[in-house]
Chains A and B, each alone.
Chain A
Amino acid sequence: MKQFLLDGQPVPFEDGQSILEAARQAGHYIPSLCWHKDFPAHGSCKLCIVKAAGRHVSACATPAKEGWEVESATPEMNGERRALLQMLFVEGNHFCPSCEKSGNCELQALGYEYEMLTSRFRHFYPDRPVDASHPDVLLDFNRCIFCELCVRASRDVDGKAVFALTGRGINKHLVVNAESGRLGDTDFSKDDLAARICPVGVILRKGPGFAVPIGERTYDGQSIREQKLKEEES
């Protein structure tokens, strides 16, 4: 079987497999945020950044190549990941103590994994009003990281295309595909895959809030590294 070296360790892969998929399958953790095993790679968050054959590439979007030497868990790569996380935090409004996703949030868990102690940069504090128009689901855009997982799930699985990203660069934002722009005016349902897929605290079920006590949430007792490798095994 073909293989490449990840931080000096051999990782077998099949043709067409990305560096990230092959690594995870072999029990090695490369972080991800916008990647989801059921969807084609999106390549937007760059948390999966690795150095392959001396170049920076997104591990989720780069097919593995025979004999490559890939650097991932190095101080350099982890430092870049931390900086990316810091930029994501200052770009939105992330007040974890009052966020329902806290403890179950992938962005937050990655902050812990890479020991992010400060957002370091100047906070944007953008103005992003929430959308509470839907009877079952609340949208808190303040925490959106533009991973497009909801866009992809709604379009490709639910067959509804409820969400879209619009604007460019610093003005990029998530919108709801309705004349009014409100979720309540779409056929979005709480049973849609898009209602469950957000890795952060944007798309939230109304009603049962803060249901799981602190200490028992997904990332209270285990790191995101452990959780993702466990998912891979199951």
Chain B
Amino acid sequence: MSPAPGSPPARKLRVPTTSLAGCFGCHMSFLDIDEHLFELVELIEFDRSPLTDIKEVGPCDIGLIEGGVCNAENVHVLRAFRRQCKTLIALGACAVNGGLPAQRNHLSLSECLREVYQFRPGIENGQIPNDPELPLPLDKVRPIHEVVRIDYFLPGCPPSGPAIWKFLTDLIAGRTPRLSDGLLHYD
């Protein structure tokens, strides 16, 4: 898959992206690579992604996952990405360790739901949503490496544009990605 360093890839790499239990901040930071986006589109094309509107992930090279796993649909999407991607990357703090959504993990799920939908000030006769269309929440929010095998981790909340750019260019050039010179941050 990896071309020799320096030589352009023979074909564009297919890259799907998704946000599971995330806030899209990592996707926003991805767009923060600014003019590098022009270089990037010479090297990659997007598959399923909020940027393309493709609904199902196809066979791909490098998958980027933002966010941890908080409901059954997240698990489904994550497994589909793992099946289809040669290389799968945990992008950002939530994918890496659950992040902010995982801060509910010390509470029981029913406590959380009742607090939000029944006991919140201003709510009368509130009910916990039970539409069958809604994905079932998991009892705990999990980082994605606890569900499928992950090849590389890129921490940060969000990882900075320069960190994402360094990481992707290393990977596309066939190098092991390395976050040096202050690019590694957990916040």
CB pair A126 B184 closer than 8 Å: no
Question: Among A108, A118, A220, which residue has the most Cβ atoms of chain B within 10 A?
Answer: A118
Which 9 residue pairs of A and B lie closest in terms of their CB atoms, listed nearest first? A97-B157, A96-B186, A125-B105, A127-B106, A117-B153, A118-B153, A102-B187, A96-B187, A97-B187
Measured between alpha carbons, how far is A108 from B155 in the docked complex, in Å? 12
A228: chain B residues within 8 A (beta carbon): none
User: Could you name 25 residue pairs across A and B whose Cβ atoms are closer than 8 Å?
Assistant: A89-B97, A94-B186, A95-B102, A96-B93, A96-B157, A97-B93, A97-B186, A97-B187, A108-B186, A111-B186, A112-B184, A115-B184, A117-B152, A117-B153, A117-B179, A118-B143, A118-B145, A118-B153, A119-B97, A123-B146, A125-B106, A125-B140, A127-B106, A220-B182, A221-B182
Measured between alpha carbons, how far is A43 from B100 in the docked complex, in Å? 33
Within 8 A of A (CB), among B81-130: 90, 93, 96-100, 102-103, 105-106
Measured between alpha carbons, how far is A182 from B128 in the docked complex, in Å? 35
Q: A96-B93, A97-B157 known; A120 and B186 CB under 8 Å?
A: no
Q: A118-B96, A119-B97, A123-B97 known; A103 and B187 CB under 8 Å?
A: yes
Q: Is B40 an interface residue (CB 8 A)?
A: no
Q: Is B69 an interface residue (CB 8 A)?
A: no
Question: Nearest Cβ distance between residue A223 and chain B, in whole angstroms?
Answer: 9
A117: chain B residues within 8 A (beta carbon): 96, 152-155, 179, 184
Q: Is A55 an interface residue (CB 8 A)?
A: no
A111: chain B residues within 8 A (beta carbon): 186
Q: Is B150 an interface residue (CB 8 A)?
A: yes
Question: Among B97, B152, B153, which residue has the most Cβ atoms of chain A within 10 A?
Answer: B97
Q: Is A122 an interface residue (CB 8 A)?
A: yes
CB pair A118 B99 closer than 8 Å: no
A127: chain B residues within 8 A (beta carbon): 106
A120-133 Cβ-contact flags toward B at 8 Å (1 or 0) = 10110111100000
Measured between alpha carbons, how far is A118 from B98 in the docked complex, in Å? 11
Q: Is A189 an interface residue (CB 8 A)?
A: no
A189-215 Cβ-contact flags toward B at 8 Å (1 or 0) = 000000000000000000000000010
Measured between alpha carbons, how far is A111 from B90 in the docked complex, in Å? 17
CB pair B100 A98 closer than 8 Å: yes
- Closest partner residue, chain A, to B185 (CB atom): A112
CB pair B184 A119 closer than 8 Å: no
Partner of B90 from A115, A118, A122, A128 at Cβ < 8 Å: A118
B97: chain A residues within 8 A (beta carbon): 89, 94-95, 118-119, 123
A119: chain B residues within 8 A (beta carbon): 96-97, 143
Measured between alpha carbons, how far is A53 from B123 in the docked complex, in Å? 68
Q: Is A93 an interface residue (CB 8 A)?
A: yes
Measured between alpha carbons, how far is A34 from B131 in the docked complex, in Å? 51
- Closest partner residue, chain B, to A223 (CB atom): B182
B187: chain A residues within 8 A (beta carbon): 96-97, 99, 102-103, 214
